[in-house]
């Protein structure tokens, strides 16, 4: 029997699965586990099932000890894990790709619609108790049909977002390390372009790339200035891909028309400049937040941890 530490609350089904074979120590507090407590608990663990709010770095791996075999992140993004530090120690790191693709693309589409059709503004207006009535020019937004979606990072979630946008009558361009499957590209009518061209031609720019040194502030003042002044920026990937201060200023100055953000540079803080603007929709990192998806993510993380503990290849190793 091995010792599995789960760093935060996850659906019971995943804990039960782990408990059939191993001793499980799961943090059950309403708040995130504190760093000191986490370092103390991981000592002697054979597996750590981690949430994206916990930093898994050399300090933590050393605190766990040399018996640690696997870090199973309950997220597709793994910028919270120092993967080279795991590899150096022979620890397998895993994530949860695939199972959250559709839910996250749904949120991207939701943000696209909310931003372009000014749903947040409308909601705030009604709740404020102000007088309003239907008017020909009241809260006019922008249509999607015939507009261009620029997808930055055309992995599973980017592709799922593009599929949805296509169903809304949009044209698709994308920037990605790899060309997508030609059959899918054909189906979507999707054209691969460089970031500069994508920014210049897109009416909606939606970010779906992983976060790392190469994508830190990928969208900054210069890139925002290169977008159309009628365009919208959507981020459901990771906050620090966007320079939030530059975005607040671009939105305030009307350099772009609006934005929809599910992720933030310093979560849970949000740049104060964004909070005062009407033309940005802000939601608190809800991309994968459905009961079904979170259960599937936790189950996949459990399967990853169990496989490594059995000496097998996990379903979703990183790298």
Is residue 3 among the annotated active site residues?
A: no
**Contact call for residue 108 and ligand GLV (CB under 6 A):** no
**Contact call for residue 156 and ligand GLV (CB under 6 A):** no
**Contact call for residue 71 and ligand GLV (CB under 6 A):** no
Cβ count near 242 (within 10 Å):
27
Catalytic residue chosen out of the listed positions 3, 238, 271, 294: 238
Cβ of residue 97: shortest distance to ligand GLV, in angstroms? Answer: 9
Q: Which of 80, 159, 255, 288 binds ligand GLV (CB under 6 A)?
A: 288
Binding mask 3-42 for ligand GLV (x = CB under 6 A): ----------------------------------------
**Contact call for residue 75 and ligand GLV (CB under 6 A):** yes
- C-beta separation of 121 from 278 below 8 A: yes
Cβ of residue 159: shortest distance to ligand GLV, in angstroms? Answer: 16
Q: Which of 10, 100, 165, 307 binds ligand GLV (CB under 6 A)?
A: 100
Cβ of residue 259: shortest distance to ligand GLV, in angstroms? Answer: 18
* Closer residue to ligand GLV (CB): 27 or 264: 264
* Closer residue to ligand GLV (CB): 112 or 144: 112
Residue 255 half-sphere exposure toward CB, CA atoms < 13 A:
19
Q: Which of 76, 154, 160, 300 binds ligand GLV (CB under 6 A)?
A: 76
- C-beta separation of 196 from 214 below 8 A: no
Is residue 267 among the annotated active site residues?
A: yes
Cβ of residue 76: shortest distance to ligand GLV, in angstroms? Answer: 4
* Closer residue to ligand GLV (CB): 13 or 139: 13
DSSP string, 226-292: HS-TT-EEEE-S-GGGB-HHHHHHHHHTTSSSEEEES--TBTTB--HHHHT-SSEEE--S-TT-SHH
* Closer residue to ligand GLV (CB): 141 or 212: 212
Is residue 238 among the annotated active site residues?
A: yes
**Contact call for residue 77 and ligand GLV (CB under 6 A):** yes
Report the catalytic residues.
238, 267, 285
User: Can you give the binding site for ligand GLV, defined by CB under 6 A?
Assistant: 52, 75-77, 100, 287-288
């Amino acid at each position: 029997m091995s010792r599995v530490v789960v760093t935060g609350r996850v659906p019971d089904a995943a804990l039960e699965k782990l408990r059939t074979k191993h001793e499980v120590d799961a943090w059950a507090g309403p708040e995130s586990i504190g760093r000191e407590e986490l370092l103390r608990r991981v000592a002697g663990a054979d597996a750590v099932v981690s949430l994206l709010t916990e930093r898994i770095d050399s300090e933590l791996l050393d605190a766990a000890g040399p018996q640690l075999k696997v870090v199973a992140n309950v997220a597709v993004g793994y910028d919270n894990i120092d993967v080279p530090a795991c590899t150096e120690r022979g620890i397998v790191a895993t994530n949860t790709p695939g199972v959250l693709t559709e839910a996250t693309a749904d949120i991207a589409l939701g943000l696209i619609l909310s931003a372009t059709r000014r749903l947040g503004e409308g909601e705030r207006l009604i709740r404020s108790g102000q007088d309003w009535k239907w008017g020909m020019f009241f809260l006019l937004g922008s249509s999607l049909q015939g507009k261009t979606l620029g997808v930055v990072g055309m992995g599973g979630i980017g592709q799922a977002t593009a599929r949805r946008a296509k169903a809304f009558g949009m044209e698709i361009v994308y920037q990605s390390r790899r060309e997508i499957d030609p059959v899918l590209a054909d189906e979507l009518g999707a054209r691969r372009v460089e970031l500069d061209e994508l920014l210049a031609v897109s009416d909606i720019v939606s970010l779906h790339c992983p976060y790392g040194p190469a994508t830190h502030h990928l969208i900054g003042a210069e890139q925002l200035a290169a977008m159309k002044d009628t365009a919208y920026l959507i981020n459901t990937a990771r906050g620090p891909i966007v320079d939030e201060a530059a975005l607040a200023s671009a939105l305030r100055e009307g350099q772009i028309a609006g934005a929809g953000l599910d992720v933030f540079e310093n979560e849970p803080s949000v740049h104060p400049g964004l909070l005062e603007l009407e033309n940005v929709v802000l939601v608190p990192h809800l991309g994968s937040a459905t009961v079904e998806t979170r259960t599937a993510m936790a189950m996949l993380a459990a399967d990853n941890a169990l496989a490594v503990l059995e000496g097998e290849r996990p379903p979703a190793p990183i790298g």
